[in-house]
Structure 1
């Protein structure tokens, strides 16, 4: 059955004949590769950033301390924020790129991968700074560079899992979990091999920021003009399962301990926030020196009220002295998702927005926040005071 989507063809096909898939990267696939590693924005992408489809004129305060600009320049981020929240009376907006310190105005931030030795699991921390002196931050910057390089190496383990016979058990596990047939697995293997070859062939031209797991998803999405959407959709489901297996096997030995990261960050006057509490809940028991806990996130919404009450109970008991734990909510927006054509966007990620955390206005959650005197304005003022 024909797997290639002909221009103008109306038929949709769920099966694939691997004999029709070229063994070597085609010119179209090479173009797709360079498209997904590009850092310069096209005029259409600039418009997608500065002209959001929806705005929030009734939101008066903008608190965003967990979001990822990725390749979007900060001046375009500023224009987007002005369009999103035209009546904002105050803001605290700090970028938190993965393992790369980024600045916006007087503030800088980063989301750091590290591990908690107490329960032997990878965790993440948000670090925020005001007027950080880079000449004093040499150790932290070296720690981040090391972590960035090690975390980036997971892409190659991911690709090896998709390609190498030595990882066949992982592939079979992912196929079983997703009920993926052999033809789709074969298609994924073939395209993953091409992607790895293109990466190695163009090593000097590939930006460091492009070397991450999402490159695989983006590359396959860029093939939609050539292969039926249902084939790519099936491949993406399988790829996601394989990626999670790779993450579970990825060694923690080369990450810094959370306590080491916090100690170095605190020496530079950083604020520290724990994100994704639902995923990393044992970190809440470790009693780390942090300023706040993220009680809501697009990926972590199940225990928001419980976490609010836990934080408030600990504060009332005086566990944290004169610096009570602050309540944060994270939008976890990845702006690269906004750069894609609407048909290629992941709907769950595309709805995320810098500074947009609907939980602040949820009636049940708001009830708990009001009782404990918590709102965006107060958190902004308190955290800004701590960072200064």
Structure 2
């Protein structure tokens, strides 16, 4: 980021008024840019580790975001040079993307039985996208919620009418008045920038993480402790906004599944740490994600549940499959290393170590599942 080289005499006070507007413009332009430098491209295609022994690559839950898919595929080829069996399908949030003969998307919807937002992974043949007018309309409607949620997120920080949310988040994180004032100031400046430039910003860049990224970009001029506490506070507010966001905005999961099945799509429920109770809903799905980098607690339990459900199914009835999702967000790898979220940046497309964990492998064996079988069976369902 170009602004990082500017020196501030009093770091706790931040830039003077004469510099603030110019710095904010530079930061904002960097945060919403979809242009890649040669250095970024080189970093994106060079994985931090190579896995020569991994011969099966299953990746049906990952997000290219604004990174060209060909760069991800080059990184994947370097990561798994000896792969022999693979199923690679991008799942952008609320946007259908094709890769070769297959297409995928992760769609937000809600489960009326549980009265909560859930997400579904949909995978289909690329030619089905041409007749997916209704699904694309549903996705377009849902895509807009992210922009709306960003504005509500910012208003929850800035506007006195939403002060209860800020007070709740401050109490939860132990933020003092100085941190609260700093976060409010950052959010107000970001809101002004969005108002001035929203028509020029690519729609996919209008999302909640702009708030935390804008705060994090203040590091050259603020103490690290201030930035860390401010990020904690902003994250707490975001969780409250998500919790309170109206579910009526979303289509029902059953409606989405019905439309997807009409297109011959496969359906997988991701994020086991949030959605495993949905097993009780008995949706028409192909399988459940039992592991991803955000959730390792229920993996063996979920494999056992799916195994018991499969045993109770009638002969010839389609079995539920075990999936694992790396949930990689490629844009995180485009950031300068010092600005990356380490946990998110460590995720790699197709890297799911749980498949090789001895305890989990035992549960998978009892369930008659492994990575190759899931790849072959799910690919067959999408044929």
TM-score by length of 2: 0.95
Q: 1:21 to 1:110 in 2, by over 3 A?
A: farther
Which shifted more, 226-235 or 350-359? 226-235
Contact 1:277 1:300 in 2 (8 A): yes
- What is the alpha-carbon distance in structure 2 between the residues aligned to residue 111 and residue 258 of structure 1? 12
- What is the alpha-carbon distance in structure 2 between the residues aligned to residue 151 and residue 80 of structure 1? 29
- What is the alpha-carbon distance in structure 2 between the residues aligned to residue 132 and residue 301 of structure 1? 35
SS at match of 1:108: strand
How big is the shift at 1:75? Answer: 1.0
Q: How many residues align?
A: 380
Q: Indicate the residue corresponding to 2:76 in structure 1.
A: 81
How big is the shift at 1:133? Answer: 3.0
Q: 1:320 to 1:387 in 2, by over 3 A?
A: farther
Structure 2 residue 360 is the aligned partner of structure 1 residue 349: no
Gaps of 5+ in 1: none
How big is the shift at 1:117? Answer: 0.4
Q: Indicate the residue corresponding to 2:7 in structure 1.
A: 7
User: For 1:328-347, what aligned pairs fall within 5 Å after superposition?
Assistant: 328-347=323-342
Q: Deviations over 1:101-144 (max 9, x none)?
A: 11111111000000000111000000001133333110000000
SS at match of 1:26: helix
How big is the shift at 1:220? Answer: 1.7
Q: Indicate the residue corresponding to 2:91 in structure 1.
A: 96
How big is the shift at 1:319? Answer: 5.7
Gaps of 5+ in 2: none
Q: Indicate the residue corresponding to 2:377 in structure 1.
A: 382
- What is the alpha-carbon distance in structure 2 between the residues aligned to residue 133 and residue 306 of structure 1? 35
- What is the alpha-carbon distance in structure 2 between the residues aligned to residue 300 and residue 23 of structure 1? 46
Q: Indicate the residue corresponding to 1:198 in structure 2.
A: 193
Contact 1:102 1:110 in 2 (8 A): yes
Q: 1:122 to 1:23 in 2, by over 3 A?
A: farther
Structure 2 residue 126 is the aligned partner of structure 1 residue 144: no
- What is the alpha-carbon distance in structure 2 between the residues aligned to residue 342 and residue 58 of structure 1? 28
Contact 1:314 1:320 in 2 (8 A): no
- What is the alpha-carbon distance in structure 2 between the residues aligned to residue 207 and residue 70 of structure 1? 11
Q: 1:221 to 1:184 in 2, by over 3 A?
A: same
- What is the alpha-carbon distance in structure 1 between the residues aligned to residue 126 and residue 202 of structure 2? 28
Q: Indicate the residue corresponding to 1:173 in structure 2.
A: 168
Cα RMSD (Å): 1.9
Contact 1:23 1:190 in 2 (8 A): no
How big is the shift at 1:381? Answer: 0.5
- Say which of 78, 86, 106 aligns to 2:101: 106
- What is the alpha-carbon distance in structure 1 between the residues aligned to residue 19 and residue 134 of structure 2? 44
Structure 2 residue 118 is the aligned partner of structure 1 residue 118: no
How big is the shift at 1:53? Answer: 1.6
- What is the alpha-carbon distance in structure 2 between the residues aligned to residue 105 and residue 97 of structure 1? 15
Q: 1:345 to 1:319 in 2, by over 3 A?
A: farther
Contact 2:293 2:327 in 1 (8 A): yes
Q: Indicate the residue corresponding to 2:130 in structure 1.
A: 135
Which structure shows the higher helix fraction? Answer: 2
How big is the shift at 1:7? Answer: 3.2
Q: Indicate the residue corresponding to 1:31 in structure 2.
A: 26
How big is the shift at 1:207? Answer: 0.6
- What is the alpha-carbon distance in structure 1 between the residues aligned to residue 127 and residue 268 of structure 2? 17
Contact 1:30 1:198 in 2 (8 A): yes
Structure 2 residue 74 is the aligned partner of structure 1 residue 48: no
How big is the shift at 1:322? Answer: 2.5
- Say which of 291, 302, 306 aligns to 2:297: 302
